[in-house]
Structure 1
């Protein structure tokens, strides 16, 4: 987050404190190495064709995703099967312990009592699971702890991931509405005579590409399919201010059956290479390893029918994101047989009746993958905690800057005092207007 979103983070938390970003265990620069391929972590692109979304209109899609997940799980289980392998230590409890050891080491280096050190923390999305897990394990070692974009940690540790999409389609309805509000001659090129008409145009594009994939060429000839489109759509509501205008232009092009700009941006139609020439972090393995290890086999999709049922439930939960969401965890764990030691298995859900300082929870009104109701549920599990709601659409509050939110965050950091109950902040900008 710090590497990619430093400007946004700074504008929210202010400049009174040093900001230290870190990679959780197994991610990017932090060990253990979770790569399943001999030669290190530069595995970006080696799983081409594995990171795809479901197409509920195609029965083969279910079986292909299930088989690919099995291949991934069996391959990585074998790669990390030695008795001395450390992949099992990449989990959320272990990373929470790492944070405690860091603040103790920092205190010691300053001549302070390590056992009195307290964590100052800001984390969003998965970072909300990590932050609340830390507060649950070490409630007397909380200095300032802000969690933003609150995942339902009970759902997360259960391995089900079925509570995230309840507001996802509302985020798309916000696109339809703001595009319409921009006006016929405004800044949204996908404008139509009503929000419902804009939705119908999008649905018509999806239907057209489902029935008739679009041929194109980049470095090599290729086809643009409905799963390519849905992979793109699933990312858009994370950051409406940045991506809604891109979506509008892209849909105009796709309506004319021109996929080239989007296909190039997605890296489609590229030629193959026998060697990796660009070092990139391994984005495929670590999220799956950590989520599956944290779930500890609680959600069993080893039976094909169980996977199909799960996928259909997710597809019904969200028209535009459910098919993608169904594939990112759950099924990926059904053949990945790597388990954390018993001391690093989190049972139940994060909670603490009292913490040394209160936690501040933040949520947007409409978050496509970590809904407001998850924040409302979780804040009740931490004594003295408070919830700040930002009236915007997007994943975590920094997706739409708000001077009001920033002021309350910086006040909390400076004083430890929470916003009054029921505090809501307005965003400074909305899509297509400013």
Structure 2
């Protein structure tokens, strides 16, 4: 158990708010601390906005503490209003239950629930919230909080003018109750979360004090924003998911390799388990020759390997190199599908004329047959990375990668994916 663990978290920039740093440091140095982070199932997968708290649990476990991953099967049916501009849509119990099961499986990839010496704990707050009676809740929990206290929370104040339902207004009480139940059942004394969770965390600490006369603790992590001011975790408006079926390992790798120079070193501190000395060496190399993107390459490798495994990382590298070199034939159908997911595509029908001139027009690659002939003659058309200058060329089975895909490139960068049923 590292006596410098809390200092390391602060040096990495992972601590934004903390309730009593000296008391927490003393407790963490002297005993194995049980702490929890909640993950509400708002989709069938976690995304990289969840990655920082997931890795925080992993860091605590590596350092001898006992992390509790709380899946919000109950609170996920309500919706946390924290720093949200509008009311969330409510999902059915069946949907939330299905999503909660998916989250449990994903969390087990990062946190060891079977460690013989220091197993992590997983819990679902539906186990107690689903049994909670309204009268009991109002008498036993609600009586501990004044409306003034609840309205003082930043997450509520931001929504007062635009409107907040009683459902979301009461969310902080449900999360406080989670802290109380985890203390009663597991002896948990610390809650972690993003900085938007500060109000919910301190409500839980207050409930512990009133109901059990014990001191609870809280730590928040920074909410990450990219240097250009855009929201972290989004690419072209879409979330970057931890599920490989929703965001392929290649797309995942591309997100990290394209990290802004201003963010790269800090993201190494946030999202990898490299030592401070290793990160310092990478930073030195990166600052000396930023065009070589040493920090981004290490970041993409470490995080892709951590989330998807080494073979998926190697596949992402293979796709990237093939796209850079234009050697498309080195890729299989699955790699083609991942690497060309976002390029224009055309599904070839059985009735389509497979002559190259006709196909360029039919697939919308060029506006006219005249332009098609000109491009072919000038050497601007490539099939699976190979230049074709024969005006009479006809696409055949040898041009179909695993019988499914053909990649046509016009010029240096304009790709079109042809798919065959």
TM-score category (smaller protein)? under 0.3
Normalised to the residue count of structure 2, the TM-score between the two structures is: 0.24
Greater C-alpha radius of gyration = 2
Normalised to the residue count of structure 1, the TM-score between the two structures is: 0.23
Q: With CA pairs under 8 Å and 6+ residues apart, which has the higher RCO, 1 or 2? A: 1
